[in-house]
Amino acid sequence: MEQITVNLNNRQSLVVVGECLDNLQKYFKGRSAYIITDRNLDGYYRKRFPDCPVYVVEPGEKSKTLEVVGDICRWLLEQGADRGSFITGIGGGVVCDLTGFVAATYMRGVKFGFVATSLLAMVDAAIGGKNGVNLDGYKNIIGTFTQPEFVICDVDMLLSLPENEFINGMAEVIKHTLIKDNKGFAHIEQYNDRILARDRNEMVSLVSHSARIKAGIVEMDELEHGERRKLNLGHTWGHALEKVTGLPHGESVAIGIAFSANLSVKKGLMKEEERKRLLGLLRGYGLPAENPSVPSDVLNALIKDKKREGGSIHFILMRGIGDTVIEPIDVNELEKFALDGV
Ligand SMILES: [Zn+2]
């Protein structure tokens, strides 16, 4: 078992990798607890949940709305939950985002924790305290920064994850190594087969390593004024692409990472052989690296995106594998590059 403590001013958040869902009860510390999960996980794992009230949402992004938040809060009120209660989200990114937001706002805030069930949630969504819901098709427009008390990563749960979901989580793992971990990149490049087989020891080390990178960045810049923006590597282009094509998040991010690598080479920051190495790694994990749709659609979605600041968009570029830099790119330059590749 690996433990990572995320230290933020006077607060702490504990990530426990290799812990088992069956031990969840002890983290409640005698408080009256409420669980939020989705229908799939409820069907699969309900028998192993601690004995407490459970609210079940529909799986998927469509549950990330203010209406669902309202329904959950109404339910908590009916159940008699108060400020001393404890809320636990058991699920992937959607359940973590929803639970964190409900807990941060219900009665002005109650303590909460997560059991992250997907690779994406373990290394990304559950860590760092960002939560929120969507509004009118815009992602995470309403939300807060509030840290969970704990994040349990039961890596055995990864075995029941569909193949494509696991691969999608790998996009975020790869992203973390690209930001600041050259050695980690070489490791996932070398042990591709063991990782894809979801070997238990490999999963404990992969998840804890990746969660540690994210935790370290969050400790430096919790509210995303500087360093934390590096976690958006591949996401500027990726989010726009996701919106236009409906591709899964991880695949969109992989294409976004490749786009960022192309731009980095074009700007003379990254060497061509490193770009090739990166594209090879993405493909080795079954992740795409080429744009499937007309770039002008993606470009239009991007320009409307909230990240636009004046006449330029902040992109996370790479000076090499494990070395990232935040660069403002002029919208006209971006347009030319995206459409003509120059
Ligand atoms: Zn992401």
Number of domains, the chain: 2
Q: 5 burial class (0-12, 13-18, 19+ CB within 10 angstroms)?
A: exposed
pLDDT at 294: 77
Q: Could you tell me if 33 and 145 lie in one domain? A: yes
Model pLDDT for residues 229-259, shown as the tens digit of each residue: 999 999 999 999 998 999 999 999 999 999 9
| DSSP character at residue 264 | H
Q: Which domain, by its residues, includes 175?
A: 164-342
Q: How far is the CA of 130 from the centre of ligand 1 (A)?
A: 12
What amino acid positions are annotated as catalytic residues? 108, 130, 172, 214, 224, 228, 232, 235, 239, 249
Q: Check if the beta carbon of residue 253 is closer than 8 Å to that of residue 175.
A: yes
CATH number of the domain within which 203 lies: 1.20.1090.10
Paired tokens of 73: 């809060």
Q: Could you tell me if 206 and 143 lie in one domain? A: no
Q: How far is the CA of 239 from the centre of ligand 1 (A)?
A: 8
Residue 89 falls in which region: left (phi positive, over 0), alpha (psi -120 to 50) or beta: beta
Q: Could you tell me if 151 and 170 lie in one domain? A: no
Q: Could you tell me if 143 and 177 lie in one domain? A: no
Question: Which range is least confidently modeled, 42-46, 150-154, 288-292?
Answer: 288-292
Q: Could you tell me if 260 and 222 lie in one domain? A: yes
Q: Could you tell me if 140 and 183 lie in one domain? A: no
Paired tokens of 174: 């790869």
Q: Could you tell me if 169 and 135 lie in one domain? A: no
CATH number of the domain within which 126 lies: 3.40.50.1970
Q: Could you tell me if 11 and 92 lie in one domain? A: yes
Q: How far is the CA of 316 from the centre of ligand 1 (A)?
A: 13
Q: How far is the CA of 251 from the centre of ligand 1 (A)?
A: 10
Q: Could you tell me if 195 and 328 lie in one domain? A: yes
pTM metric for this prediction: 0.94
Q: How far is the C-alpha of 21 from the C-alpha of 153, rounded, in Å?
A: 8
Q: Could you tell me if 319 and 186 lie in one domain? A: yes
Q: How far is the CA of 93 from the centre of ligand 1 (A)?
A: 10
Model pLDDT for residues 43-83, shown as the tens digit of each residue: 999 999 999 999 999 999 999 999 999 999 999 999 999 99
Query: Who contacts 51 (Cβ-Cβ below 8 Å, separation ≥6)?
Result: none
Q: Which of 161, 191, 208 corresponds to the end of one domain?
A: 161
